[in-house]
């Protein structure tokens, strides 16, 4: 007798449920995704006991006919793909046809649905995967799914469930994640009969972003200029580098409306933030990426939260460029739009703000109103929105721009003096400005080195310096030697793990070279070339800048300060040191007057 048997369908559904339905939150995710695929604009999620006893999801979507409702709970039954080729151009959130049968196999399950074509709706009662009753009911167009006693027949799974609060936390995060990607759909979440959150439909996606990420973050969000390159479009928001997290949890990535975790996009995001974050910091961002359906494989994981891009490099480039563009734009001189906010925000003691936080409240009409997630405008509209939307919203008109561009940020400051031997104190017409002299000089030197400004200004050492590093460090250092040449640092391998330094960049002429080389070697051993040669070189240049820069507690003459300010004015990014820390703090006269209670 044969030992191999085909599993009964109920058992195979239970096995599928093991992958798809990990906890109540996964049930919520699958059911809400179905509601969105059905074009719903209103979805109500009611939960009891963290989803252990009840999950009830109702929508106003297209509903199902009697026959479809019966089919829907069969394994591999889907209305979303029909052929092989459909699998490689998926436009819906679901496609595997296994969520409903999987959930129904491990719960007491009810489906009530009406597609609005028949007079009566359909109700199907299923327990542990077995249909118990099919009846006609009166129901509005749409679908209601009730999941009770989840895992009642899989006790081990049930045992693995965490506390009610933990499970409810997962459910709320799941709904928030989805809600962020679908701003024009209203989501209501209730727990034990009480409202947890009502995400009302937002005509401006910025409102939904603020709603989900927290209102306090709103003034720190910078809108990404919508990009459209080679069929890939991108929009979204990045938070100021001052607002960071210590994990990737503040990074929301949506690919064709699907919330995913993706290393390529995350890496590109970090690249866009390069030089602005401190070690261990994670940026916050909401990225909406739309790619042609046949350029992304969504059938990578049963839970459908991972994807694979056909052309990862292309996506990487678009994201990195757009993110750094948004941050650079945010660093530019203030437009009238955010000058007002600026004076509001710059209260003394509130040091985490920079001048020029753009307002994001203006419309960002990059979402369709169809309930089909976000859709970017066409190429033409998109360039139009760049012209009309971005530059008019977030930046001054051309006439205002010329006057603003002319207005110097640092070169025109009047020097008051030095504070604590460490900070340069200056004033402009309406602001008190404090500049970290070391950070400012670091930025200047970093950009000079990066632009090869010091080429030819290297200084030969009278006695070459011999330096030992570890063997693994030596391997890495050797790779960088040719690139160091351009900065004026001439260093040669001397066999084994020994190197000889012959010349140094002029900016380092007066400094000890050994500590710098050792720090560079350590840094390379730590980060290596994981993110490419350019990043590795940037890390080295920022170390050189750090070693060469004027220190804290160093007295400077007025001339030296003036020169520093003029050089800072020339910098591409004069607001942060190369490590991403702010190098200046500004207080508006108004905010000072407020602090002194001269005005209210």
Query: How many residues belong to the site for ligand ADP (CB under 6 A)?
Result: 22
Among 50, 51, 63, 275, binds ligand ADP (CB under 6 A): 63
Nearer to ligand ADP, 35 or 590 (CB): 35
Question: Minimum distance between the CB of residue 119 and Mg ion, rounded to whole angstroms?
Answer: 27
Question: Minimum distance between the CB of residue 76 and Mg ion, rounded to whole angstroms?
Answer: 12
Binding flags for ligand ADP, 227-246, as an x/- string (CB under 6 A): --------------------
Distance of CA 531 to the CA centre of its chain: 18
DSSP 361: -
106 interacts with ligand ADP by CB under 6 A: no
121 interacts with ligand ADP by CB under 6 A: no
Binding flags for ligand ADP, 321-360, as an x/- string (CB under 6 A): ----------------------------------------
Alpha-helical runs (H) found in 370-497: 379-384, 391-393, 398-406, 437-450, 471-485
Question: b vs e for 96-131, b when ≥16 Cβ sit within 10 Å of the residue's Cβ?
Answer: bbbbbbbbbbbbbbbbbbbbeeeeebbbbbbbbbee
Closest CA to 103 of 148, 137, 64: 148
Question: Minimum distance between the CB of residue 297 and ligand ADP, rounded to whole angstroms?
Answer: 16
Q: How far apart are CA 218 and CA 556, in angstroms?
A: 39
**Residue 24 tokens, joined:** 């109540």
Question: Minimum distance between the CB of residue 97 and ligand ADP, rounded to whole angstroms?
Answer: 4
The option from Mg ion, ligand ADP, none interacting with 72 (CB < 5 to 8 A, set by class) reads ligand ADP
Nearer to ligand ADP, 29 or 438 (CB): 29
Nearer to ligand ADP, 112 or 207 (CB): 112
The option from ligand ADP, Mg ion, none interacting with 61 (CB < 5 to 8 A, set by class) reads ligand ADP
Q: Are 115 and 64 in contact (CB under 8 A)?
A: yes
Q: Are 357 and 219 in contact (CB under 8 A)?
A: yes
Which residues make Cβ contacts (< 8 Å) with residue 26, sequence separation at least 6? 20, 174, 303
**Nearest 5 degrees, angle CA 214-CA 219-CA 224?**
95
Question: Minimum distance between the CB of residue 305 and ligand ADP, rounded to whole angstroms?
Answer: 14
Question: Minimum distance between the CB of residue 16 and ligand ADP, rounded to whole angstroms?
Answer: 10
- 367 to 234, 320, 487: CA distances (angstroms): 12, 22, 47
129 interacts with ligand ADP by CB under 6 A: no
Among 59, 354, 442, 473, binds ligand ADP (CB under 6 A): 59
DSSP 120: S
Nearer to ligand ADP, 177 or 497 (CB): 177
105 interacts with ligand ADP by CB under 6 A: no
Question: Minimum distance between the CB of residue 74 and ligand ADP, rounded to whole angstroms?
Answer: 9
Nearer to ligand ADP, 80 or 149 (CB): 80
Question: Minimum distance between the CB of residue 80 and Mg ion, rounded to whole angstroms?
Answer: 8
Q: What is the DSSP secondary-structure string of 129-154?
A: TEEEEEEEE---SEEEEEEESTTTT-
Q: How far apart are CA 173 and CA 49, in angstroms?
A: 16
Question: b vs e for 466-505, b when ≥16 Cβ sit within 10 Å of the residue's Cβ?
Answer: ebebeeebbebbeebeeebeebbbbbeeeeebebebebbb
The option from Mg ion, ligand ADP, none interacting with 78 (CB < 5 to 8 A, set by class) reads ligand ADP
Binding site for ligand ADP (CB under 6 A): 30, 34-35, 38, 59, 61-64, 72, 77-80, 94-100, 143
């Amino acid at each position: 007798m044969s030992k191999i048997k085909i599993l009964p369908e109920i058992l195979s559904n239970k096995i599928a449920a093991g992958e798809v339905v990990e906890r109540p939150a996964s049930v919520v995710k699958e059911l809400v995704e179905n509601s969105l695929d059905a074009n719903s604009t209103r979805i109500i999620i009611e939960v009891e006991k963290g989803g252990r006893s009840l999950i009830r999801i109702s929508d106003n979507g297209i509903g199902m006919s009697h026959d479809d409702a019966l089919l829907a709970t069969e394994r591999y039954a889907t209305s979303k793909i029909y052929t092989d080729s459909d699998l490689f151009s998926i436009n819906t959130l679901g496609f595997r046809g296994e969520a409903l049968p999987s959930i129904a196999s491990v719960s007491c399950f009810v489906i009530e649905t009406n597609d609005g074509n028949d007079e009566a709706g359909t109700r199907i009662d299923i327990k542990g995967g077995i249909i118990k009753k099919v009846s006609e009911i009166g129901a509005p167009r749409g679908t209601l799914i009730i999941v009770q006693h989840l895992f009642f027949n899989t006790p081990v799974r049930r045992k693995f469930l965490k506390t009610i609060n933990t499970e409810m936390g997962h459910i709320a995060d799941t709904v928030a994640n989805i809600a962020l990607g679908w701003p024009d759909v209203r989501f209501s979440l209730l727990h034990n009969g009480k409202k947890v959150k009502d995400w009302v439909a937002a005509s401006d996606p910025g409102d939904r972003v603020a709603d989900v990420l927290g209102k306090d973050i709103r003034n720190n969000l910078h809108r990404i200029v919508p990009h459209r390159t080679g069929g890939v479009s991108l929009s979204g928001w990045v938070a100021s580098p001052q607002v960071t997290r210590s994990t990737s949890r503040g990074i929301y990535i949506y690919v064709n409306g699907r919330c995913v975790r993706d290393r390529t996009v995350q890496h590109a995001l970090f690249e866009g933030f390069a030089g602005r974050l401190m070690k261990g910091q994670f940026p916050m961002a909401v990225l909406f990426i739309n790619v042609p359906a046949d350029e992304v494989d969504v059938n990578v994981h049963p839970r459908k939260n991972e994807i694979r891009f056909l052309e990862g490099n292309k996506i990487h480039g678009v994201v990195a460029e757009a993110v750094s563009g948004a941050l650079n734009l945010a660093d530019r001189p203030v437009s009238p739009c955010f000058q007002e906010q600026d004076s509001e925000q710059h209260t003394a003691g509130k040091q985490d703000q920079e001048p020029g936080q753009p307002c994001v409240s203006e419309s960002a009409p990059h979402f369709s109103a169809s309930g089909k997630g976000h859709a970017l405008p066409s190429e033409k509209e998109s360039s139009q929105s760049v012209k009309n939307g971005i530059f008019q919203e977030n930046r001054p008109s051309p006439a205002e721009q010329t006057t603003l561009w002319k207005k110097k940020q640092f070169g025109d400051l009047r020097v008051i003096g030095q504070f604590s031997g460490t900070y340069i104190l200056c004033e402009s017409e309406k602001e008190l400005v404090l500049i970290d002299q070391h950070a400012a000089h670091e930025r200047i030197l970093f950009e000079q080195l990066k632009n090869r400004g010091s080429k030819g200004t290297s200084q030969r050492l009278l006695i070459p310096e011999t330096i030992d590093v570890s063997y693994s460090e030596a391997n890495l250092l050797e790779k960088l030697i040719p690139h160091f040449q351009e900065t004026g640092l001439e260093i040669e391998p001397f066999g084994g793990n020994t190197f000889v330094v012959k010349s140094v960049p002029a900016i380092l002429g007066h400094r000890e070279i050994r500590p710098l080389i050792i720090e560079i070697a350590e840094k390379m051993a730590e980060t290596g070339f994981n993110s490419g040669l350019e990043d590795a070189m940037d890390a080295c240049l920022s170390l050189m800048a750090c070693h060469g820069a004027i220190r804290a507690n160093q007295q400077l003459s007025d001339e030296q300060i003036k020169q520093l300010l003029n050089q800072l004015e020339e910098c591409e990014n004069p607001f942060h040191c190369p490590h991403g820390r702010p190098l200046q703090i500004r207080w508006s006269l108004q905010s000072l007057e407020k602090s002194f209670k001269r005005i209210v």
